[in-house]
Amino acid sequence: MKVTVVSRSGREVIKGGIELHDEATVSDLQEAIHARTKKYYPSRQRLTLPMQAGIQGKPIVLSPKKKLVDYCDGNVKNLTVVFKDLGVQVLYRTLFFWEYLGPLVIYPIFYYFPVYKYFGYEGERVVYPVQTYAMYYWCLHYSKRIMETFFVHRFSHATSPLSNVFRNCAYYWTFGAYIAYYVNHPMYTPVNDLQMKIGFGFGLICQVSNFYCHILLRNLRNPNGNGGYQIPHGFLFNIVTCANYTTEIYQWLGFNIATQTIAGYVFLVVAALIMTNWALAKHRRLKKLFDGKEGRPRYPRRWVILPPFI
């Protein structure tokens, strides 16, 4: 079959189109485009079916594993696809590694090294037990994240735009330094012992739960699968759609109860807002996909992310 590749403005991206055998997959097409253009490796390509004039809605994105014929609407000899360049891509693994490495390295610097001298605080500082535990807790958290990035998570789309590296690193590294500055400060005021224990205890339970949630999510996805959606189930997923985000938010709450800094709470609120946005989108997507029609199961009534609020 002949595939015509056009840009969103209608210009032909590959002059003369591409000839492929009839059983070819989208992935084969992507390889062929890469061969013809050199610059556009497959993960940088976003291929969609052309929008019909007058019909609203989002364009249909071509899925790499599917066959091209599945997207033909009758004419199996010709197909037109719309090409969009997603820009330079990095692996999600790479992105996550760098954004998590920052906090893991930066926080202990404030704990171990005499940085406060440069802020005008001379002399030895007294280190409270809570500050030591906080450093261990923090480093455990980000080590866990890095470990999960390489051994647990299964990514539906393997890459992310390069610009996200700068944006995400700025977010994590700045907040990491901001919180580390206050918790390790020479004039830090600790909370009472019981509050500290409750905070870290609750936080650790949530971190373990969060890890279990990630394992469950991983097992939902088939390793050589089509990356399709499943209704999450098991453990907390039976009551809340994004239980992984829930446990993450509560885990930070535990840290803040134990360390009590405004900086930590600001981070908690911002992170919770970001995750709530993601959770709402995911919940909506799942409800739309699992609508109970045509034999599909119906998505059950569940909290989105933070019972009892939302």
Partner 1 sequence: MAGFLSTLRRIYLSLYNWTVFVGWFQVLYFAVKALREGGPTTVYDSVERPLQLAQTAAVMEILHGLVGLVRSPVSATLPQIGSRLFLTWGVLWSFPETRTHVLVSSLVISWSITEIIRYSFFGMKEALGFAPSWLLWLRYSTFLILYPTGITSEVGLIYIALPYIKASEKYCIRMPNKWNFSFDYFYASIVALAIYVPGSPHMYQYMLGQRKKALSKSKTA
Question: Which residues sit at the interface with partner 1, rule CB under 8 A?
Answer: 182-183, 185, 187-189, 259-263
Distance CA 110, CA 116 (A): 8
- Name which of 53 and 126 has its Cβ closer to partner 1: 126
Q: Tell which residue, 174, 194, 160, 188, has the closest CA to residue 89.
A: 160
Please report, in angstroms and rounded to a whole number, the separation of the first and last CA atoms in the chain: 49
- Name which of 176 and 232 has its Cβ closer to partner 1: 176
Distance CA 190, CA 200 (A): 13
- Name which of 42 and 254 has its Cβ closer to partner 1: 254
Distance CA 248, CA 231 (A): 20
**217: helix, coil or strand?**
helix
Taking the complex as a whole, the smallest distance from the CB of residue 187 to partner 1 amounts, in Å, to: 4
Taking the complex as a whole, the smallest distance from the CB of residue 277 to partner 1 amounts, in Å, to: 15
Distance CA 243, CA 238 (A): 9
Distance CA 1, CA 131 (A): 66
Taking the complex as a whole, the smallest distance from the CB of residue 262 to partner 1 amounts, in Å, to: 4
Taking the complex as a whole, the smallest distance from the CB of residue 200 to partner 1 amounts, in Å, to: 16
Taking the complex as a whole, the smallest distance from the CB of residue 17 to partner 1 amounts, in Å, to: 36
- Name which of 246 and 261 has its Cβ closer to partner 1: 261
Residue positions counted in the chain: 310
- Name which of 168 and 195 has its Cβ closer to partner 1: 195
Taking the complex as a whole, the smallest distance from the CB of residue 261 to partner 1 amounts, in Å, to: 4
- Name which of 262 and 274 has its Cβ closer to partner 1: 262
**What does the DSSP assignment read for 265-294?**
HHHHHHHHHHHHHHHHHHHHHHHHH-BS-T
For residue 308, cis peptide bond before it (omega within 30 degrees of 0): yes
- The C-alpha torsion from 203 through 206 and 211 to 217, rounded to 10°, is -150
- What stretches of the chain show up as alpha helix (H) in DSSP? 26-37, 92-112, 129-151, 163-183, 193-220, 243-259, 262-289
- Name which of 119 and 309 has its Cβ closer to partner 1: 119
Taking the complex as a whole, the smallest distance from the CB of residue 108 to partner 1 amounts, in Å, to: 19
| CA-to-CA dists, residue 58 to 48, 50, 51, angstroms | 10, 10, 8
Taking the complex as a whole, the smallest distance from the CB of residue 188 to partner 1 amounts, in Å, to: 6
- Name which of 52 and 189 has its Cβ closer to partner 1: 189
